[in-house]
């Protein structure tokens, strides 16, 4: 994976942060890492911070990423993705949620924590 990933446990959730240049392959691998780490640590709530991933995410990649999430992120996994403008967006969220994934794309950590509470 070309991204630098850090993982740590917070009080009530897991936090995964990634830094680097956007590539579809790296984001797919990152999503798999989220699944593996949440299972390994028995943590169903995750904040995934991708604000430091540089580069625009093409519209068609959003579709594929949402579909990938639906195949790997099963309930009770609940993921709040902190993303910058130009990163993951509402379209990605809708694709994944329409396929049963519990996730939200949010602008900051506070919004992510609030969403994970429900």
Global confidence as pTM: 0.95
Confidence of residue 1 (pLDDT cuts 50, 70, 90): low
CA neighbor of 73 nearest in space, from 53, 49, 44, 106: 44
Domains and CATH numbers, the chain: 4-117 (3.30.750.24)
Q: Using alpha carbons only, what angle is made at residue 51 by residues 109 and 3, rounded to the nearest 5 degrees?
A: 125
* CB proximity list for 92: less than 8 A, separation 6 or greater: 57, 62, 63, 65, 66, 105
Helix 90-97 / helix 59-72 crossing angle, nearest 10 deg: 30
pLDDT of residue 113: 96
pLDDT digit string, tens, across residues 76-105: 999 999 999 889 999 999 999 999 999 999
pLDDT of residue 23: 97
């Amino acid at each position: 994976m070309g991204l630098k990933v850090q993982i740590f446990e917070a009080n009530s959730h897991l936090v995964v942060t990634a830094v680097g240049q956007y590539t579809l392959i790296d984001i797919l691998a990152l999503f798999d890492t989220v699944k593996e780490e949440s299972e390994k640590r028995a943590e169903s709530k995750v904040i995934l911070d991708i604000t430091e991933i540089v580069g625009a995410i093409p519209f068609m990649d959003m579709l594929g990423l949402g579909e990938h999430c639906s195949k790997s992120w099963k309930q009770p996994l609940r993921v709040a993705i902190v993303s910058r403008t130009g990163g993951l967006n509402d379209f990605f969220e809708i694709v994944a949620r329409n396929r049963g994934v519990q996730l939200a794309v949010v602008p900051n950590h506070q919004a992510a924590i609030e969403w994970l509470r429900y």
